């Protein structure tokens, strides 16, 4: 099954697109805001994204920028009413795979979607990368440059979360949110133990998990 994230705040267009895509056997999730889109992109794997630019609060371009920080390859097709050339250039510069101006023909959208999926061959890829690290989120296999390493499921979740938000502070609470067991135990200590273990495993890499006192952790490349 090909999973598509549709980011569109126009309810009428969104439901029409969901229906049409599902008829073509795509599995579609709908996000109606930029924040919702980022949450979905962060928590799930998709094969492609259809992205409206004119969204409330968090603009589609911002979503694209955030997405590209953690994932350079996921195909993103911008669907928008903005038809100025500058907007197209900006979208493509920010890493969109393609650009379609509303109103568009559904057949054309689907053809472009197929093309983007073919080009990317992205399907089933679960690699997330930062500096010399490459983490397979499916099986917790971590590659540090040439060296392969096995992570426990909790280590993999914590590292994935830090990698996806590299350069930004991630709170212990946000890490606990990723692991239901921890929420039950409400144990910050459990987070600290996993981070401690991860630091050991990353000793010979080119990244640090730095503590930001009172806030949480930040994954950074070593200078």
Binding mask 41-80 for Ca ion (x = CB under 5 A): -----------x-x--------------------------
- Of 4 and 117, nearer to Ca ion (C-beta) is 4
Q: How far is the CB of 55 from Ca ion (least distance, A)?
A: 6
Residue-by-residue DSSP string for 68-105? HHH-S-S-EEEEES---HHHHHHHHHTT-SEEEESS--
Is the CB of 12 or the CB of 93 nearer to Ca ion?
12
Rounded CA gap, 98 and 70, in Å? 19
Residue 76's DSSP bridge partners are 49
- Binding segment for Ca ion among 4-12, 17-25, 152-160, 170-178 (CB under 5 A)? 4-12
CA distances, 122 to each of 92, 183, 215 (Å): 19, 33, 35
Q: Of 54 and 153, which CB lies nearer to Ca ion in the complex structure? A: 54
Place of tokens 């994954």: 219
Cβ proximity of 159 and 150 under 8 Å: no
Minimum Å distance from CB 10 to Ca ion?
A: 5
Residue 9 C-beta: closest distance to Ca ion, Å: 5
End-to-end alpha-carbon separation of the chain, Å?
42
- Between residues 32 and 69, which has the closer beta carbon with respect to Ca ion? 32
Over the window 17 to 36, marking each residue x when it contacts Ca ion by CB under 5 A and - when it does not, the resulting string is --------------------
Provide the Cα torsion 204, 205, 211, 216; round to 10°: -130
Residue 102 or 129: the one with the smaller Cβ distance to Ca ion is 102
Cβ at position 60, least distance to Ca ion in Å? 8
Q: Name the residue whose CB lies closest to Ca ion.
A: 54
Using CB under 5 A, pick the residue from 6, 9, 157, 163 that binds Ca ion: 9
Which of residues 52 and 71 has its CB atom nearest to Ca ion in the complex?
Answer: 52
For the CB of residue 58, give the shortest distance to Ca ion in the complex, in Å. Answer: 12
CA distances from 118 to 2, 47, 55, 153, 179 (A): 12, 11, 28, 31, 34
Task: Record the tokens describing residue 168, joined without a space.
Answer: 């930004």
Residues that bind Ca ion (CB under 5 A): 9, 52, 54
């Amino acid at each position: 099954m090909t999973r598509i994230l549709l980011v569109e705040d126009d309810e009428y267009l969104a439901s029409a697109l969901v229906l049409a895509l599902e008829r073509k056997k795509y599995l579609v999730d709908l996000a109606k805001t930029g924040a919702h889109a980022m949450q979905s992109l962060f928590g799930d794997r998709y094969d492609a994204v259809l992205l409206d630019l004119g969204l409330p609060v968090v603009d589609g371009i911002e979503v694209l920028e955030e997405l590209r920080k953690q994932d350079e390859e996921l195909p993103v097709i911008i669907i928008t009413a903005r038809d100025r050339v500058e907007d197209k250039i900006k979208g493509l510069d920010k890493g969109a795979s393609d650009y379609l101006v509303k109103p568009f023909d559904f057949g054309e959208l689907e053809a472009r979607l197929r093309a983007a999926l073919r080009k990317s061959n992205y399907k089933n890829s679960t690699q997330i990368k930062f500096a010399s690290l490459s983490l397979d989120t499916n099986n917790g296999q971590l590659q540090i440059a040439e060296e392969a390493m096995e992570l426990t499921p909790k280590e993999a979740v914590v590292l994935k979360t830090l990698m996806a938000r590299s350069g930004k502070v991630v709170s212990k609470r946000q890490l606990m949110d990723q692991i239901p067991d921890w929420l039950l135990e409400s144990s910050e200590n459990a987070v600290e133990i996993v981070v401690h273990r991860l630091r050991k495993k990353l000793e010979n890499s080119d990244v640090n998990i730095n503590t930001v006192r009172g806030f949480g952790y930040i994954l950074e490349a070593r200078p």
